[in-house]
């Protein structure tokens, strides 16, 4: 089995998983309205770090620093020797150090513009001898990275995989989503009738997996499927999302699933698409949630952060509420709730979708055998 042995969330809501969970449990959100941010000509709401509170690592960029802080936080819970050749680092990110393009930077920093080079300096910081793998598969990268970890452990190539997802915001990223008219100026409202766009967010999150006979949380199945429809719009029927969901639910009973953690970005098309996919999979009765109201869309971090937070909440028997949701606004009526709910179930499915028509689904279970 592929078992989780440690985790960390390093976000504007806290620097440990526990701090993040307690804040979300109390209904706190990192999303605020920002005007004139780095000279951008429009307001937008986003969950941004207070960089005065983040302890940067000497000689590393802000992006690399949050990756390192998150990995350190997770490694500290284990006896893993990160310098061992049996440990693989997998980094999930969309744009890494892209803000280096913004202003002329020293050559030593510019060398870390390529994602592989940034990952390499982080792996070297921990003394790891293997070339790290960077997953750059748009917004599904955080689940894709965990699927890479599962496979690397199942094939026996490594004993331990450190999966870390991270992104920081730059003019590059914010203006890009802005050019798509996808950004909301107010906190987002996933699945709500009045949803008007997404919020972006900054974060890093880490999950460490190890091959073991038994453990608390384990990654059971994962799949990636493509819409084969459009590079920037999701398939209206949720083609790829449905196919990924169908694959991970093979041989599973819907009654065992505590909830489906959706992508739930709060754009018109994404949320509608996910409702179609969940309906096609026959899972409309299963509770669903979106965590974007607490963190915004944290891009490369999202798949890891939302998985870790979902595990922590289920440890407490809680299905987290969908902050910002009030009135059903998708045509396939999902089982969404603004407030937290209780459950005694021990499994959940996580979904993500991204540009390039890619979609990912993973099934996680707690305790016992796979």
Footprint of other proteins (CB under 8 A) = 41, 94-95, 98, 101-102, 113-117, 119-120, 131-138, 144, 148, 150-152, 154-155, 157, 171-172, 175-176, 178-180, 223-232, 239-240, 243, 247, 354-358
Determine contact, residues 335/319, Cβ cutoff 8 Å.
no
Q: With respect to other proteins, which residue has the nearer C-beta, 263 or 346?
A: 263
Q: Where are the alpha helices (DSSP H) in the chain?
A: 17-25, 62-75, 107-110, 115-125, 141-154, 171-179, 239-249, 268-280, 292-295, 302-315
Q: With respect to other proteins, which residue has the nearer C-beta, 82 or 133?
A: 133
Determine contact, residues 272/264, Cβ cutoff 8 Å.
no
Give me the residues paired with residue 335 across strands: 287
Least distance to other proteins, CB of residue 128, Å? 12
* CA pair distance 240, 234, nearest whole angstrom: 9
Determine contact, residues 142/307, Cβ cutoff 8 Å.
yes
Q: Pick from 332, 359, 140: which is nearest to 242 by CA? A: 359
Least distance to other proteins, CB of residue 123, Å? 9
Least distance to other proteins, CB of residue 75, Å? 21
Least distance to other proteins, CB of residue 103, Å? 10
Least distance to other proteins, CB of residue 345, Å? 26
Q: With respect to other proteins, which residue has the nearer C-beta, 90 or 305?
A: 90
List CB contacts of 329: < 8 A, sequence separation 6 or more: 189, 191, 192, 193, 194, 195, 271
Q: With respect to other proteins, which residue has the nearer C-beta, 77 or 175?
A: 175
Left, alpha or beta for 321 (phi > 0: left; psi -120 to 50: alpha)? beta
Q: With respect to other proteins, which residue has the nearer C-beta, 155 or 369?
A: 155
Q: With respect to other proteins, which residue has the nearer C-beta, 25 or 171?
A: 171
Question: DSSP letters along 260-317, please?
Answer: EE------HHHHHHHHHHHHHTT-TTSEEE--HHHH-B-GGGHHHHHHHHHHHHHHTT
Q: For the stretch 222-249, what's the b/e string if a residue is b when 16 or more beta carbons lie within 10 angstroms of its beta carbon?
A: bbbbebeeeeeebbeebbbbbbbbbebb
Strands 259-261, 347-354: pairing kind = parallel
Q: With respect to other proteins, which residue has the nearer C-beta, 28 or 101?
A: 101
Determine contact, residues 364/220, Cβ cutoff 8 Å.
yes
Determine contact, residues 334/316, Cβ cutoff 8 Å.
no
Q: With respect to other proteins, which residue has the nearer C-beta, 122 or 308?
A: 122
Least distance to other proteins, CB of residue 10, Å? 22
Least distance to other proteins, CB of residue 288, Å? 23
Least distance to other proteins, CB of residue 277, Å? 13
């Amino acid at each position: 089995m592929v078992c989780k042995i440690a985790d960390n969330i390093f976000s504007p809501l806290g620097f440990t998983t526990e701090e993040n969970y307690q804040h979300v449990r109390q209904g706190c959100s990192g999303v605020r309205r920002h005007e004139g941010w780095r000279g951008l000509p429009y307001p937008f709401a986003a969950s941004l770090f207070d960089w005065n509170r983040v302890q940067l690592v000497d000689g590393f960029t802000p992006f690399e620093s949050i990756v390192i802080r998150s990995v350190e936080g997770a490694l500290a819970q284990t006896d893993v020797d990160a310098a061992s050749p049996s440990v693989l680092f997998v980094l999930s990110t969309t744009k890494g150090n892209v803000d280096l393009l913004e202003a002329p930077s020293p050559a030593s920093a510019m060398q870390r513009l390529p994602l592989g080079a940034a990952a390499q300096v982080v792996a070297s910081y921990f003394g790891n001898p293997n070339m790290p793998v960077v997953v750059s598969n748009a917004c599904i990268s955080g689940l894709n990275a965990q699927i890479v970890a599962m496979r690397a452990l199942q094939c026996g190539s490594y004993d331990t995989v450190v999966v870390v997802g991270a992104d920081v915001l730059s003019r590059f990223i914010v203006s890009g989503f802005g050019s798509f008219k996808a950004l909301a100026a107010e906190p987002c409202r996933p699945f709500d009738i009045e949803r008007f766009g997404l919020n972006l967010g900054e974060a890093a999150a880490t999950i460490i997996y190890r091959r073991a006979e038994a453990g608390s949380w384990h990654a059971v199945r994962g799949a990636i499927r493509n819409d084969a429809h459009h590079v920037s719009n999701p398939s209206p029927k949720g083609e790829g999302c449905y196919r990924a969901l169908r694959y991970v639910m093979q041989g599973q009973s819907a009654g065992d699933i505590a909830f489906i953690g959706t992508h739930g970005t709060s754009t018109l098309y994404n949320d509608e698409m996910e409702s179609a996919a969940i309906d096609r999979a026959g899972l409309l009765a299963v509770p669903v949630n979106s965590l974007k109201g607490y963190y915004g869309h944290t891009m490369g971090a999202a798949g890891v952060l939302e998985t870790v937070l979902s595990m922590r909440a289920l440890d407490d028997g809680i299905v987290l509420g969908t902050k910002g949701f009030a009135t059903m606004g998708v045509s396939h009526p999902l089982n969404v709730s603004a407030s937290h709910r209780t459950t005694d179930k021990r499994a959940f499915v996580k979904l993500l979708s991204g540009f390039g028509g890619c979609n990912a689904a993973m099934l996680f279970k707690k305790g016992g055998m796979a």
